[in-house]
Structure 1
Amino acid sequence: MNEIIKESVAKGISYTAYVELVNCLVAEEATTGTEQTQQRIDFTKLNTSRMRRLDKTLVILEQSKQVFRDMKEKQTWLVLIESWCADGAQTIPVLNKIAEVSPAIDLKILLRDNNPEFMDLFLTNGTRSIPKLVIVDNSGNVLNTWGPRSQVATNMVMAYKKENGKIDDAFKKSLQVWYNKNKGEAIIDDLVNIVEDSLTLEKDLD
């Protein structure tokens, strides 16, 4: 497992490189992943707009920034994603903004379908759900995981499934509307909690 993680960290690309890749795919009318369907190609195009908007408008509150700045141990935040993934497009710019704030975080991105061995170490309820964030220290030890959605969004999904039996297009649209209104706050809150827990643990060990 450790070897797979170390190899995956080495293969990860930067957020800038990922954005460039997705922009090239849009120009070529293509998408990442094994399925080149029109629907996924259209989602890739839509997701570039979502990422661009978040890059311009996303604001992290000073109080949250300080938590990320207080991190001392260097770590890699490795994200599994595909360009057609709507949740991914709403998440990855938030992770990038967090990484920009903290010198301790090295954000790297991996495409799920190109990295099945790594993906299969971090399934959600037995599925290859993305985006999936894996937080790794310099020795390749997994410190934490997060995803595919914030706790708030996960609760919304579970409540809808309970009432309607499954997720449908109507819910997917309403979830994107919620993402736009929430402006990454639920994701930031989750990650602040993860980091605060690890900072508390560090102090206890000291």
Structure 2
Amino acid sequence: MINAIKQALANGFSYENYRKHVTELITKGLSTGHTQSEDLLKYSELNESRMNRLEKTIQVTDEVKAKLENLDKKYIWLVLSEGWCGDAAQILPVIHKMAEVAENVELKIALRDDNDTLMQHFLTNGGKAIPKLIVLDAETLEVVADWGPRPTGAKQLILDYKAAHGVVDEPAKITLQKWYLNDKGISIQNEIVEMHERVLS
């Protein structure tokens, strides 16, 4: 797996360059990933406006900020993502804001489809669900933890919806986006910090 990690870091993006890359593709009528479709392009465009809004509104809580500032080792947060992914659009701006206040955290974003070997190590129920945050020891590149693809509340919402309706359809996706909107990134922040605390304890 170490080679797959090294490859993902080598072909990965900073947050700013990831945003630029996705935007440039959209201007050409394309989405990220190895599959192209009108729907994926439409989702990518929708996610652009979501991320623009979240970058202006998301705040790291004082409690989370204090914990992130106290990390005493250097870590790389490597996130597997794609521009068309609705969950990634809600989660990446939060992770970005967290990494900004954490002196010992470097954020890298790698595209899922370009890093399939690595993705295979982090499947969710056998599927390539994203975003997936992989926490690496910056010195050794050892995987110390992983998180994703959704915070617990969002995960439960989708499980309950699927149990009731049998599918995850467009109304389900709208309900999920409303959940993220109301949560304001708090669950994501708390869960990632708690994960770090478990690793360090």
Q: Same fold (TM over 0.5)?
A: yes
**Alignment-derived partner of residue 39 in structure 1:** 39
Structure 2 counterparts to residues 1-206 of structure 1, below 5 A: 1-137=1-137, 138-199=139-200, 201=201
Q: Aligned to 1:115, what secondary structure does the other structure show?
A: helix
Q: Aligned to 1:33, what secondary structure does the other structure show?
A: coil
Residue 71 (structure 1) shift: 0.5
- Aligned letter for 2:46? L
Residue 166 (structure 1) shift: 2.2
- Aligned letter for 1:102? A
CA-to-aligned-CA distance 1:18-44 (integer Å, 9 cap, x gap): 011111122112110111101110111
Between the aligned partners of 1:171 and 1:189, the Cα distance in structure 2 is 24
Q: Aligned to 2:121, what secondary structure does the other structure show?
A: coil
Between the aligned partners of 2:43 and 2:169, the Cα distance in structure 1 is 16
- Aligned letter for 2:112? R
**Alignment-derived partner of residue 204 in structure 1:** none
Between the aligned partners of 2:197 and 2:117, the Cα distance in structure 1 is 30
Asked if structure 2 preserves the Cα contact closer than 8 Å seen for 1:18 and 1:109, the reply is yes
- Aligned letter for 2:89? A
Residue 6 (structure 1) shift: 2.4
CA-to-aligned-CA distance 1:145-167 (integer Å, 9 cap, x gap): 11110011111111112222221
Between the aligned partners of 1:176 and 1:3, the Cα distance in structure 2 is 35
Structure 1, unpaired ranges of 5+: 202-206
Between the aligned partners of 2:88 and 2:173, the Cα distance in structure 1 is 13
4+ runs deviating over 4 angstroms: none
Structure 2, unpaired ranges of 5+: none
Give the count of matched residue pairs.
200
- Aligned letter for 1:12? G
Between the aligned partners of 1:67 and 1:167, the Cα distance in structure 2 is 36
- Aligned letter for 1:20? K
Between the aligned partners of 1:133 and 1:20, the Cα distance in structure 2 is 20
Residue 124 (structure 1) shift: 0.6
Asked if structure 2 preserves the Cα contact closer than 8 Å seen for 1:68 and 1:195, the reply is no
Q: Aligned to 1:145, what secondary structure does the other structure show?
A: strand
